[in-house]
Amino acid sequence: MVYIQNLTKSFGNFKALRGINLKLEKGQFLTIFGPNGAGKTTLIKILSTLMKPTSGVIKIAGLDLREDGESVRKQIGVISHSTYLYPNLTAYENLKFYGKMYDLQNLPATIERVLEEVGLKDRMHDLVRTYSRGMQQRLSIARAILHDPAVMFLDEPYTGLDLHAAEMLRDLLQTVHTRERTVIMTTHSISQGLEVSDLVGILVRGKLVYLEPIGKIDTQDFGKTYFYWVEQAG
């Protein structure tokens, strides 16, 4: 589903990503840990076509990112610490707008179903401005799954959430995951990352220094493993 070969990205002189290789099968959930400035957000931005790579090949759902950027965008959903919502539109209007941009058929029914799923149906005609941070985050999940993407990228989705909202997000992620979506998530919270993933990676200074399936990892002691690799690479 996701295939990355020799991906590099430089900003002027600064090398943000130095040769990433990765292959994900359909339905796999990969969590990437890494310190600040390791290149996690850059990686997600490149995968979601917002940024162009300096070199390397990326294929998502069999489509080359360079050639079929627009078709790739139809296949992906992104949740980030920014919600991508217009505060002066209602939840319904936000989803209607995005739905139109994705050429979705049968829009009103789809919107209602998705809003039901994230538990915001009773408030769908309220302005997003009046929503709490947790509710906005839930709505941003609704926005990301509205077009039923095959691949999802989550960039630090837990940032700024209170405990309750984080719990809800985790439950939602689990339901999202069971629908056979391929997911890549970045985070620096170790406990939240390990709960849902099949694969775990560590990104340090633009390199994927560690990549193992969850079965091979001592989850109790992963903190130590993490710091070991971060220090090694530093």
Partner 1 sequence: MGFFQKVWFITWKDIKAEWRTREIFSSMFIFALLVIVIFNFALDPGADPQMTLPGALWIAFTFAGVLGLNRSFILERENEAFQGLLLCPVDRGIIYLGKMLGSLLFMSLAELIALPIFMVFFNLNLLNLLPELGLVILLSTLGFISVGTLFSAMSIHTKTREVMLPVLLFPVVVPVIIGAVKATDRILAQKPLSEITSWLHLLIAFDVIFLVASFLTFEFVVEE
Partner 2 sequence: MKPMPRYTPIDLIGWATFLTMTLGLYLIFMYAPTEQKMGIVQRIFYFHLPSAWTSFLAFFVVAVSSFLYLWRRERKWDRIAYASAEIGVVFCSLVLLTGPIWARPVWNVWWTWDPRLTTTLILWLMYVGYLMLRSSSESSKTSRFTAVFGILAFLDVPLVYMSTRWWRTIHPKPVIGGEPGSSGLAPEMALTLIVCLLAFTLFYIYLMAQRISLEKLKDEIEEIKQNFETPVERSK
Residues in contact with partner 2 by the rule CB under 8 A: 11-15, 34-38, 52, 188, 204-205, 227, 230-231, 233-234
Binding site for partner 1 (CB under 8 A): 45, 48-52, 70-71, 73-74, 76, 78, 80, 82-89, 93, 97-98, 100-103, 127, 136, 143
How distant is the alpha carbon of residue 104 from its chain centre? Answer: 21
Q: Are strands 207-213 and 14-24 parallel, antiparallel or unpaired?
A: unpaired
Question: Which H, E and C letters describe 47-105, residue by residue?
Answer: HCCCCCCCEEEEEECCEECCCCHHHHHHHEEEEECCCCCCCCCEHHHHHHHHHHHCCCC
Nearest approach, Cβ of 42 to partner 2 (angstroms)?
Answer: 9
Nearest approach, Cβ of 208 to partner 2 (angstroms)?
Answer: 15
Nearest approach, Cβ of 57 to partner 2 (angstroms)?
Answer: 16
Taking the least distance from each CB to partner 2, the nearer of 33 and 92 is: 33
Q: Which residue has the tokens 């050639």?
A: 67
> Nearest Cα to 17, choosing from 25, 28, 26, 8?
8
Taking the least distance from each CB to partner 1, the nearer of 89 and 209 is: 89
Total length of the chain? 234
Structure tokens at 182: 């391929």
Taking the least distance from each CB to partner 1, the nearer of 57 and 101 is: 101
Residue 28 φ then ψ, to 5°: -80, 150
- Residue 14 touches which of partner 1, partner 2, none (CB < 5 to 8 A by kind)? partner 2
| CA pair distance 131, 137, nearest whole angstrom | 9
Nearest approach, Cβ of 189 to partner 2 (angstroms)?
Answer: 9
Taking the least distance from each CB to partner 2, the nearer of 54 and 71 is: 54
Nearest approach, Cβ of 35 to partner 2 (angstroms)?
Answer: 4
- Residue 13 touches which of partner 1, partner 2, none (CB < 5 to 8 A by kind)? partner 2
